[in-house]
Structure 1
């Protein structure tokens, strides 16, 4: 895996070429854009499918702007050429998505009327999901072992930067009127409630019947069938809360707990781990 550092954050060259970080700063934001922001492996594909179903419920059925998943991960960092042109010509509302930390966002986004959806997941399950993902995706280096990977994750020595820097960078914006925070664990425990919340935030409130239709189409088993052809199931593995217990030793769990308390105490940001 070839990487580079920009402002202390590691980026894979094959996924985020350095020139793209310059392009994104001047990216033309539309007031009706929907920007999805996630740290890797915290629910990007799932949330995208939910947004897609909400828009379809409102009669927005043109697939062009929704994109195929391989192009979605850094959808707010356009490449030169065809993809950059797609951003310009895509019909509104555009659905954009990115993993980049807050300091790399388009300069006009936070002052616009665009809707920003930030999805978060507890760091232990995020670490396990990322470990398995890296083993199946050639653009990132395959971890030598779970132990060595976890050391990297704790140190923040991983693509898109340290987990807590990423989460807290966005959490500081929680009082902004155009930002909605969703948590993976809440979505797993009560998907209908989270679908309603998201649809209302997007200005597209749904009937109870429509909510149930969205939920039925975006349950994990249904969604996994949709993407099973992508990279041997790398994008959808288990989709559960608490899978970290199958990988973490007691010592590793304590190290994560110590860092969790150190970084999130007095911030108001909390996660569920089971």
Structure 2
């Protein structure tokens, strides 16, 4: 009973800390003009209140471990989903009950948002540590390559990604919103959104699809068979899970379960991160002209590539 109360107090303290931090960020964001909410670094746009040139520059000093679990994805491709799966897989292999996990173990750690204090704290976390980025391969911390850290790259079909990203920006006070879907679509296709062009991102990462330390998985693949995805992720990292562990992790990783728990994991922004969790929502916003434009862009950039085949574009993106 005492250990349960201790765990509850620790969770409450962490939640209060996260909420306080978010409140400070919201106050800062409220003082910015829309054009000030993004800044450009090495050609790409980043959120002003979440990142900075200093944070991006210090990535070169990050000390990766070979046993780390690293997620990389373009925004709104399933990063938060896989983060939950990663944490639960890590807890299973560490054989730690919920209340016995490292402080910060369930936090969403995006390294491009991490300050020196976070980097220092992460040194004390037991392995496997979980963190991620929305960065191009060339912008990864050098130690990830040097240590041969395994990187899971998460992609989603571009039409659903664009719609999910649009709604995310409209609901997220830390990001600039658009006057309309049509306006956002133009920015998205031009790469004038945070982290740049989806297609540039895909083309860069596609070069490394056969790297032994890189594995690609898609949002749609996880929707098709979540338990199978959990097993595939665990095996990629060299972990052996029981059927019961896989079932439990998949059960906790459903959209409904994560949405129900969003206030605990994402505090006051919980409803921003978990909207629908479906495939095919693009049909509710795309015009025929926009659909044809996206089809042409996919054909130009990804048709005939291994990543293009993995995305099953004809199945998920053709009306």
Q: Same fold (TM over 0.5)?
A: yes
Provide the rounded CA distance (Å) in 1 between the counterparts of 2:150 and 2:96.
Answer: 17
In structure 1, the partner of 2:20 is none
Q: 2:162 aligns with which of 111, 117, 127?
A: 127
Other-structure match for 1:258: 296
Matched, 1:235 2:270: no
Q: Give the deviation of 1:65 after TM superposition.
A: 4.5
- Pick the aligned partner of 2:115 from 79, 83, 92: 79
The structure having more radius of gyration, on CA atoms, is 2
Instruction: Indicate whether 1:45 and 2:84 are aligned.
Output: no
Post-superposition offset of 1:78: 2.6
CA RMSD of aligned residues (A): 1.6
- Say if 2:38 and 2:45, in contact at 8 Å, map to a contact too: yes
Indicate conservation of the 8 Å contact 1:136/1:232, yes or no.
no
Assess if the C-alpha contact under 8 Å between 1:76 and 1:96 holds in 2.
Answer: no
Corresponding residue for residue 110 of structure 1: 145
Cα separation, 1, equivalents of 2:301 and 2:96: 41
Report the 3-state secondary structure (helix = DSSP H, G, I; strand = E; otherwise coil) of the residue aligned with 2:307: coil
* Greater percentage in helix: 2
Match for residue 194 of structure 1?
Answer: 229
Relative to 1, partners in 2 of residues 1:67 and 1:210: Cα closer, same or farther, differing over 3 Å?
closer
- Matched residue count: 270
CA deviation digits over 1:74-120, x for unaligned, max 9?
A: 2355313x323212222222111111222211012123232211100
1:139-175: CA deviations, max 9, x gaps? Answer: 2111111000000001111111110111221221112
In 2: Cα distance, 1:176 partner to 1:196 partner: 20
Gaps of 5+ in 2: 1-35
* C-alpha displacement of 1:4: 2.0
| Correspondence 1:23 to 2:58 | yes
The runs of 5 or more residues in structure 1 that have no matched partner are none
Q: Deviations over 1:35-77 (max 9, x none)?
A: 11011111011101111121222214514252423xx2x2355
TM-score, normalised to structure 2, is 0.80
Work out the CA distance in 2 between the residues paired with 1:76 and 1:57.
27
Match of 1:153 among 175, 188, 200: 188
Match of 1:269 in 2: 307
What whole-Å deviation, never above 9, does each CA across 1:207-257 have from its counterpart, x for those lacking one? 222211111111111111111454251111111110000111111111111
